[in-house]
Homo-oligomer: A and B are copies of this chain.
Amino acid sequence: MKIITGVTRVYGILADPIHHVQTPQRMNEHFAALDHDGVLVPLHAGADTLARVVEGLRGLRNLGGVIVTVPHKTAIVELCDEVTDSARLIGAANVVRREADGRLVGHMLDGEGFVGGLRDAGVDPRGRSAYLAGAGGAANAIAFALVQAGVSRLTIANRTRAKAEDLKQRLARLDPAAVVSVGTPDPSGHDLVVNATSLGLREDDPLPLDTTRLAPGQRVCEIIMQPRVTALLQAAAQRGCAIHHGAPMLAAQIALMARFLGVRGPTAVA
């Protein structure tokens, strides 16, 4: 990557844990490809310090913005001065731009990124049934994007059932014709099975769903990138399912995020 100097623009990724994030590698590659003099660094903030960290970042004049990931995607919304319509609807953001006056504008790209990654892998969600584990920030974004992409029906399963019910109701406001139900840990009978929880990030995490109910013909999708093969994907492969790793979602998002952060390639600048 480029040499960092006093004029290099700074970006960060807020996460906890932080060791697994791959955005620094990917975004710094992307900046280099665009010949953008910027650097993205990991910013390890716990839920207990997020508000004051964000308040501090607001005061940094050379900060372009931050990517936001687990567990901060929902909490960040309240800390922004403004969020885009999609972030407000979803109730979560994963990218925050810092305007020149210090105002923070949040946006959510997880859903677009996930569906983009599926399409990049040759899988169009249109007309397929989908099972979604989770109802947090990423799950909300993916649910909205799957409905917008035209899935035939969507089942949402979450440990706290009320959060799944709430998501179902918000989806109904987006598209009253969408077929959405609240499910159980059993993912059987769905073409696409998506883990949008953070379970699998830590080695001792429980599985996000009942893998004994998986069967050939299903495609099991992860949004976790590290480890590359989570316990869920391993179990899915053993049961003869097709699998979809977490990486394509990030790959699809990197360009979208950079654009939202105001980074333009050399041709766009000229």
Binds B, one of A18-26, A161-169, A236-244, A256-264: A18-26
Q: Is the interface on chain A under 10, 10 to 19, 20 to 34, or 35 or more residues?
A: 35 or more
The copy count of this chain in the complex is 2
Binds B, one of A39-47, A80-88, A121-129, A144-152: A39-47
Complex: chain B residue closest to A61, CB-CB: B44
Q: Does A3 contact B (CB under 8 A)?
A: yes
Which of B25, B61, B102 is within 8 Å of A4, CB to CB?
B25
Complex: chain B residue closest to A17, CB-CB: B6
Determine how close the nearest CB of chain B comes to the CB of A185; give it in whole angstroms. 30
**CB within 8 Å of B: which A47-85 residues:** 48-50, 52-63
Which of B10, B18, B28 is within 8 Å of A42, CB to CB?
B10
Query: Which residues of chain B come closer than 8 Å to A43, judged between CB atoms?
Result: 10, 60, 62
**Seed contacts A43-B60, A49-B59, A53-B56; 12 additional CB < 8 Å A-B pairs:** A4-B24, A6-B19, A6-B21, A6-B24, A16-B61, A43-B62, A44-B61, A45-B61, A46-B59, A49-B60, A53-B59, A55-B56
